[in-house]
Amino acid sequence: MASLNELEILVAERTREFKALQQKSADAAGKVIGEPVAGGTGLVQVDITGRLVGIEFDQERLRSLDERRLGRQLVEAIRTAETKAATVRDVLLGEST
Amino acid sequence: MWLMNALDEIEAAVQKSAARQQQLAQAQAEVAERRFTDEIPDVVRVTVNGTGDVLEIELAAGCLDTGRQPHLLGERITRAVGNARRQSALAARDALSEVLGEQVAHWLVGDEEPKPERRSPRNRPGDKGTEDYFEDKDAKGFLEEQPWLP
C-alpha cells in the first residue's frame, strides 16, 4: 500500500508531465507550416492541425497566370502542406508520451 | 445457471458492439463519399470530401485581373476552404450522432466538448476537495487523543 508521501510524489510527477504536455501543445498550436505553390506564385500556410490559415500570392506574377492551372497548383500545395503538418505534429506531440 | 446467463449477456453485448462498429464504419464511408462546396461568386468555388480533403479549387475566369481585387484572393480562397470543411465536419457529426449519440459525436468531431457528468449527491458545488477539507483540520495529536475510546 502506497504511503501518503509516495502518493504526493506521484501526483507531483503527473502534474509536471501534464504541464509539460500542455506547454508542448501550446507551442505546437502556434506553428505554421508553409508550402510554396508550384512556380513560386505564392505560399500556402497551414497550422499544425492541417487547417488552412492563409494563402499569400506574388501579386506581380498573379496577373499572368491561368486560373485553372493555379487552382490545381493550390490543391497540390495544400495537400503537401497538410502532410508536412501531420509529420510535424507527430514529432512534436509524439515525443511527450 | 447464473454463469450461462452471464455468458449470454456477454455474447449479446459483443454482438451489439460489433454491429455498432459496422454501422459506424458504414456511416463514415458514406460521409467520406459526399462532396461539399463553398463558393464566392465570380471568384472561387471549393469542393471538399466528407473527410475535409480539398478536391478542387476552381478560380473564376478573370478573377486574377487587376480590377477584381486579386490582393484579396488568398483570403477569399482560405475562407471558402474553411466554410466547405465546416459543412463537411457538420455532416460527419450528424452521421456519427445517429450511431454513437449526439454527445459523443460532438466530442469526436471537436465542435463541442462533452457535457460534464451529472453531479452525484456526493459531488455538490459546496463539497470541498480533499486538500481544502484538511486545510483547517489540525490532525496533530489525533492518534494520542483516541476519540473513539470512551
* Residue B145 confidence (pLDDT): 52
In terms of residue numbers, what domain contains A50?
4-94
Q: What is the pLDDT of residues B57-90, one digit of tens each?
A: 999 999 998 888 899 999 999 999 999 999 999 9
- Which residues touch A88 (CB under 8 Å, ≥6 apart)? A28, A31, A33, A48
**Residue B24 vs residue A96, higher pLDDT:** B24
The grid coordinates listed for B40 are 464566392
The reply to whether residue B59 touches residue A56, judged by beta carbons under 8 angstroms, is no
Per the CB < 8 A criterion, the answer to whether A46 and A32 are in contact is yes
> Mean pLDDT over residues B112-138, rounded?
49
pLDDT above 70 covers a percentage of chain B that reads 71
Give me the residue spans of the domains in chain B. Answer: 37-114
Q: How far apart are the first and last CA of chain A?
A: 27
Say yes or no to pLDDT of B143 above 60.
no
Q: Which residue of B lies nearest to A46 if distances are taken between CA atoms?
A: B78
Model confidence band, residue B115 (pLDDT cutoffs 50, 70, 90): very low
- In this model, does residue B144 exceed pLDDT 70? no
pLDDT at B46: 97
- For residue B118, the model assigns a pLDDT of 46
Q: What was the pLDDT predicted at B111?
A: 55
Closest Cα of chain A to B85: distance in Å? 9
| CB neighbours of residue B101 within 10 Å | 10
**Which carries the bigger pLDDT value, residue B98 or residue B25?**
B25
pLDDT at A89 over 70: yes
Report the residue from B60, B61, B77 with minimal CB separation from A55. Answer: B77
Beta bridge partners of residue A55, listed in sequence order: A44
Helix and strand tally (H, E) in chain A? 3, 3
Task: Find the CATH number of the domain harbouring A35.
Answer: 3.30.1310.10
The answer, yes or no, to whether residue B20 has pLDDT greater than 60, is yes
CB contact under 8 A, A54 and B65: no
Cα torsion through A80, A81, A83, A88, rounded to 10: 150
Residue A11 CB partners (closer than 8 Å, separation 6+):
none
Of A97 and B79, the structure prediction assigns the larger pLDDT to: B79
**pLDDT for residue B136 is more than 60:** no
Encoded amino acid at B34, one letter = R
Confidence check: pLDDT of A77 > 90: yes
pLDDT of residue B124: 52
Domain count, chain A: 1
Q: pLDDT at position B56, please? A: 97
Shortest alpha-carbon distance between residue A64 and chain B (Å): 8
Could you read off the pLDDT of A11-52 as tens digits, one per residue? Answer: 999 999 888 888 888 887 788 999 999 988 999 999 998 999
A37 vs chain B: nearest CA distance in angstroms? 12
- Residues B46 and B54 sit within 8 Å (Cβ to Cβ): yes
